[in-house]
Amino acid sequence: MASTIREARYRVEGMDCASCASKIDTAVRRLSGVEDVSVSVSAGTMSVKFADENDLSTSIVSRVGKLGYRLHPIQAGQAQERKTAHVCSGHDHNHEHDHDHDHGGHSHDHDHGHKHNHAHDHDHRHDEHARHHEGNASQKGEAAAVAMGLHGHDHGPTSGPWWKSGKGKLTIASGLALIAAYAVGKTIPVTEPWIFTLAMLVGLLPIARRAFVAATMGTPFSIEMLMTIAAIGAVFIGATEEAAMVVLLFLVGELLEGVAAGKARASIQSLTALVPKSAFVERDGRLDEVPAETLSVGAVILVRPGDRIPADGVILSGESAVDEAPVTGESTPVRKEVDDTVVAGTVNGSGALRVRVTAAAADNTIARIVRMVEEAQESKAPTERFIDRFSRYYTPGVVVVAALVAVLPPLLWGGSWDEWIYKGLAILLIGCPCALVISTPAAIAASLSAGARRGLLMKGGAVLENVGKVTAAAFDKTGTLTEGKPKVTDIVGFGRSEADVLRLAAALEQGSSHPLARAILERSTADGVAIPTIATVNAVGGKGLEGTVEGAVLFFGSPKAAAERTPMTPDEKARVAALNDEGKTVSVLVAGGVIAGAIAMRDEPRPDAAAGVKALTDAGLRVVMLTGDNRRTAEAIGRQFGMEVRAELLPEDKQRIVRELKAEGFNVAKIGDGINDAPALAAADIGIAMGGGTDVALETADAAVLHGRVGDVAAMIRLSRSTMRNIVQNITIALGLKAVFLVTTIIGVTGLWPAILADTGATVLVTMNALRLLRPVRAA
């Protein structure tokens, strides 16, 4: 019988560079029973898939601990919230795991009808049990790391300044040792060789131990190994002062990498800081202030004017303008009333709201977005996979070149051994692949974070990369280009006033839940119309409604059914036909045997739809509407956008058209609601769900536009294209600097110091360049 594959996720402390991730990946992958490993430097997480019959948790924690990192298991569905110490100017960003926020994920029904089934089900009652095991695992990892004394990275969560971190302390100790060596060496010159060697060993010993353990676990050519060989080699040829300085520069470079990695992680994690720490919950007729993370589904909370909303929920009473800018980027406050949904982290305006909680803290919108982005960051893009493969050959290749440079000139042409060994050692340092390996994931992680903050979710690096290649966009109409619900657009009075037509039609429609009825009732409420009491009302099958209001017999239904009761004049027919030609649904009111008027309704375009479609066409995309609606309605909407229209389609027709576009050479994005258009979404190169809930949308599509803005599709494509440009820049920086210093080292212009500065400098430049992508995404 085939074994079941389990997946375990961990947060990795101390991992802040591509070299770290590569060593962890290789070490864990070599464990027997492991099927797959995904490590994200940017998110600081690792996912491991292994056969169900193998309980590898202890082995994984122990093995990674020996490399000098500490693992914290991430429970399925838990709120992955961390306290972040933001310290500028070289300060370390250390993320503390806030285990008090661990509420298990669960399946729940929201009032708006979407059932969100989370794949990672976990019972709340097991939280304390999980924390106990998590603590034990962490202690084991920490004990293993401390016992080996390996890693200059942090061994535990810290909230203090960078100089209190393990990495900071090692760097300071190495710097002080080097200063002391200069003081003693210049005072007593005869001691220089061994005093600088001692200073070098302060920083090198932890590096050498990490190199040895990494080599035994499958990574012989780690940056630590190259660093160790270069430093020891420099001592043997008498360059002890340079060896000590190179070790210090290496440690400073690692410290800077940690700062840059912290900034990327802090970008998406800062979303969790938007949720307030406390909430006012109604209990037995009184209000109690409780921690927000303890709120359970079904609890009723009071949100005062000006307060941040502490949980996802549905409004039970009250109305207010809610500022959603912190979460969605929507600059204009959104009017909310009874039965509307609200999102944790948004800001209540002027009115008090009573809200029923629909999601626990671990499962609110922000927590799910953070979780999705972190999981997406573990998914490698094609470019990243190629760079990883390339670096596996690149580093051993540089080691061979370094060895040839050190040995061949003295052997073949009588060169100085010291001079050429020195050059070979410098080339070894140039061979570190850190800047090259981080060039792609740093940019992708920054883009995924920036996109998520605007409500643009993508399932991983491959999706982000492919979105920018899209050359054709196929939109669903209802709920995507349009609002998804009809609105009254025209009220026409023939025999009566417009107000009278609306008043009588609303009287007949009272109590109906039909979308057209709701549209009429909403319009009458908005216009302040007093709806009269209805005596009787009956549905006339497939034609309309018939009833008695204020002693008059009324009929409200289709123009054809109305004409069967009372002949319509040519002018009345022409007016109805004109409204139909605009894609509107028209219902005619007959009162006392006379045509009284007509009401036209239409599912109106989203406010930003025209600008969003124009942004796509301006970007060179072919834009087409695929809809099952009737041709006249579809073309009326399409004319407003100047887009190609394909109407009266079945789901299989949409799939066929997507395939036809691909056959013509287009890279096709299908944008729909993520539910009804599954065949077309699957057939497209990229499926983008718009207007659905986060879970529903990402279950069925590659990417999602959470806030229903058509312009966000263009923003997603822009983000992808700017990311790919950033990656090209990063690779150019990484390889270009190394090529320059390779040549200058061989011809004798630069030595060990510039070599390590080139490596550290390139890594920091690449990371900082990638962080530019964290800037806000422009709207269309």
Pairing of strands 686-690, 668-672: parallel
Q: Is 476 a catalytic residue?
A: yes
**CA diameter of the chain:** 119
H helix intervals, 237-307: 240-269
H helix intervals, 270-364: 325-328
In DSSP terms, 336 is beta-bridged to 320
Q: Which helix (H) or strand (E) holds 393?
A: helix 382-413
Specify the residue for token string 């292994």: 50
Helix (H, G, I), strand (E, B) or coil at 599: strand
How distant, in Å, are the alpha carbons of 13, 153, 178 from that of 72? 8, 16, 36
If we measure between CA atoms, which residue out of 73, 81, 82, 84 comes closest to residue 120? 73
Count, residues in the chain: 780
Contact of 367 with 81, CB cutoff 8 Å: yes
Which are the contacts of 139, defined by CB distance < 8 A and separation ≥ 6? none
Q: How far apart are CA 394 and CA 477, in angstroms?
A: 50
Contact of 252 with 203, CB cutoff 8 Å: no
DSSP state at residue 101 = G
Q: Is the dihedral of CA 562, 564, 570, 573 positive or negative?
A: positive
Q: How far apart are CA 136 and CA 733, in angstroms?
A: 43
CA 216 to chain CA centroid, Å, is: 36
Contact of 685 with 470, CB cutoff 8 Å: yes
Q: Active-site residue among 16, 102, 476, 677?
A: 476
Cα angle 628, 693, 292; round to 5: 165
Contact of 284 with 315, CB cutoff 8 Å: no
Q: How far apart are CA 475 and CA 175, in angstroms?
A: 60
If we measure between CA atoms, which residue out of 91, 720, 748, 771 comes closest to residue 383? 720
What residues act catalytically?
476
